[in-house]
Amino acid sequence: MKKKKIIIGIDFGTTCCLVSTVINNKIIVLDIFNKKKFFPTIVHFKKNNTIIGWKAQKFLRKDVKNTITSIKRFIGVSYSELKKKKINVPYKISTNENKELVFHTNIGKITVSGIIQKIFTYIKNKIEKNFQTSICGAIITVPAYFNNIQKKTIRKSAKLINLKLLRLLNEPTAAAIAYGLEKQRKGFICVYDIGGGTFDVSILKISEGIFEVLATNGDCHLGGDDFDRLLASFLYSKIKNKPKITDILFKKLLVIAEKVKIQLSKKSSVTVELLHSKINCSVLEFNVLIDPYIKKTLNILKQALQDASVKKSNIKDIILVGGSTYIPLIRKKIHNFFKKKTLQLLNPVEVVAHGAGLQANFLYHKKNKNIQSILLLDIVSISIGIELLGGIMEKMIVKGSKIPTEVVKIFTTFKDNQTGFCINIFQGESKYVKNCKLLKKFKIKKLPPKKAGEIKIVIAFRIDADNLLSVTTQEQTSKIRHRIQMDTIYHNKNINKKK
């Protein structure tokens, strides 16, 4: 008997993960994680084994330093950035020779990518054990505003555990696909996606299976985790005769704060016992704490509408995505902004997984005429360029460009007898590279000594359907061509020469 092929969509969330697949032409979110449709994105490291998901959750208070949560927020973050933000983390973190963050745990040192691999392996093993067959293909969703390094880290993690990745899919786009295919929605759509750790907004146009992304914007460090931190600090401030705050104590406060936050979505006030003190928190107090963050999301939303050249009155449907959209204040602010009700036909927590599974099924079976076709027209979410003299950012591929895309420009030497050329690649919207994310540094050497301006360097930037970057350079006289490997970290070397 021929085994059924399993193709999955993975919603890799900051606080929880979901997996979907198409069975009998119907998309379902799998309830195989302790008989639930999702599992917490928590990894606990014991000396002899690793525990993930629901079973790891109970160690949040018992063994904070070896229980990693919200690993998604650490993707693409350097050690210096972590120190600069002064975020309370109860983990011992350092950096390795490749400038990757390294967590010190019971099993030893492990990188961010290594932890993600543990999570993906857990998913892979659960699925294959449940269906008694190998996964034939998977789509993993990522925030629309993830940069090249962050997306590369996800791809690398999947590849290293032999998970057959079909494509990375932006989370808001996945939600739009779910509504477009399952609920037959058409017209201009706004996807407002705020989860545990990230915020994205996308403006799309949907028509007959065509999903055209018009604009996207976001903040990779804005989400429910930030609300938990604010609430934890607020609850701590109300404790009488409070002890000195420590990373471990703050982590315990975060666990309590998350529970209070969830209850405040249904109640007007919540009372909890903290360190022998009864603390009350009202919805009004919580709203005051998070209001600046909600205003920030609305400003990001306004920019996305402006970039898309779409008036808010022309938006037909507003799709809310992510657990944080259950917060009444968020729903109220969105309703007041658009002057219309949000679309709530699908569960905000499950909708991204739905879209990922549908897109994965289409990509794997795209020659099958019985499966509804999906044409996805995506765009570049963050501009990419190189550094010029004076720290100026020369944008090569501009935010909003349709993908796949390629841009070629010619640069020259700026002084006589210059035999080398240093190129620094950045991602961001600022005029100055100091405010952008460094993706790669590399040098072109052994150029023939000539007068300034006579040497011509042709640089080509390409972005593929996964929104991933590749760069090639060629010196016109010698015809020596370089292909720059864009890794999850930057190096000064690692250039492949071709003649």
Structure-token match 């620094």, residue found: 424
CA atoms within 13 A on the CB side of 76: 23
Measured at the CA of 151, the angle between CA 148 and CA 156, to 5 degrees, comes to 120
* Average pLDDT, integer, range 463-488: 76
Which pLDDT belongs to residue 369? 65
Is the model's pLDDT at 220 over the cut of 70? yes
Which pLDDT belongs to residue 296? 97
- Contacts by residues 415-422 (CB-CB < 8 Å, ≥ 24 positions apart): 415/452, 416/449, 416/450, 416/451, 416/452, 417/449, 417/450, 417/451, 418/447, 418/449, 418/452, 418/455, 419/445, 419/446, 419/447, 419/448, 419/449, 420/444, 420/445, 420/446, 420/447, 421/447, 421/455, 421/457
pLDDT tens digits along 75-104: 988 888 888 776 667 899 999 888 889 999
Is the model's pLDDT at 134 over the cut of 50? yes
Which pLDDT belongs to residue 499? 37
pLDDT tens digits along 442-461: 888 777 888 888 888 889 99
**What's at 95, amino acid-wise?**
T
Which pLDDT belongs to residue 446? 77
Ranges in the chain annotated CATH 2.60.34.10:
384-498
**What's at 316, amino acid-wise?**
K
Is the model's pLDDT at 465 over the cut of 80? no
Is the model's pLDDT at 114 over the cut of 70? yes
Helix (H) or strand (E) holding 353: helix 351-364
Is the model's pLDDT at 494 over the cut of 50? no
The answer for 400, left when phi > 0, alpha when psi is -120 to 50, beta otherwise, is left
Distance linking the first and last C-alpha atoms of the chain: 52
- Please check whether residue 70 is in contact with residue 196, taking contact to mean a CB–CB distance below 8 angstroms: yes
**Contacting residues for 259 by C-beta, under 8 A, at least 6 apart:** 272
- pLDDT band per the 50, 70, 90 thresholds, residue 338: very high
State which of 269-283, 290-304, 365-379, 381-395 shows the largest mean pLDDT: 290-304
**Token code pair at residue 313:** 């009155």
Which pLDDT belongs to residue 485? 65
**Token code pair at residue 424:** 């620094």
* Average pLDDT, integer, range 220-243: 91
Nearest to 320 by CA among 309, 331, 329: 331
pLDDT tens digits along 412-421: 888 888 887 7
Greatest CA separation for the chain: 77
CATH topology of domain 384-498: Substrate Binding Domain Of DNAk; Chain A, domain 1 (2.60.34)
* Average pLDDT, integer, range 283-312: 96
- pLDDT band per the 50, 70, 90 thresholds, residue 70: very high
Which pLDDT belongs to residue 156? 93
- pLDDT band per the 50, 70, 90 thresholds, residue 490: very low
For 116, 136, 200, 209, the CA distances from 76, given in Å and listed in that order, are 13, 28, 17, 34
Is the model's pLDDT at 1 over the cut of 70? no
Cis before 172 (ω within 30): no
Burial letters for 124-154: b for 16+ Cβ neighbours within 10 Å, e otherwise? bebbeeebeeebebbbbbbbbbbbbbbbbbb
Ranges in the chain annotated CATH 3.30.420.40:
6-221+291-377
- What CATH class has 6-221+291-377? alpha beta
* Average pLDDT, integer, range 176-193: 86
Ranges in the chain annotated CATH 3.90.640.10:
224-289
- pLDDT band per the 50, 70, 90 thresholds, residue 299: very high
* CA–CA distance, 346 with 178 (Å, rounded to integer): 9
* Average pLDDT, integer, range 61-85: 88
Which ranges of 63-138 does DSSP label H, i.e. alpha helix?
Answer: 79-85, 112-131
Is the model's pLDDT at 359 over the cut of 70? yes
What is the average pLDDT score of the chain?
Answer: 89
Is the model's pLDDT at 121 over the cut of 70? yes
Which pLDDT belongs to residue 174? 94
For 124, 174, 198, 409, the CA distances from 141, given in Å and listed in that order, are 16, 7, 13, 32
Which pLDDT belongs to residue 86? 63
Is the model's pLDDT at 116 over the cut of 80? yes
**What's at 58, amino acid-wise?**
K
Which pLDDT belongs to residue 497? 39
The CATH code of the domain at 224-289 is 3.90.640.10
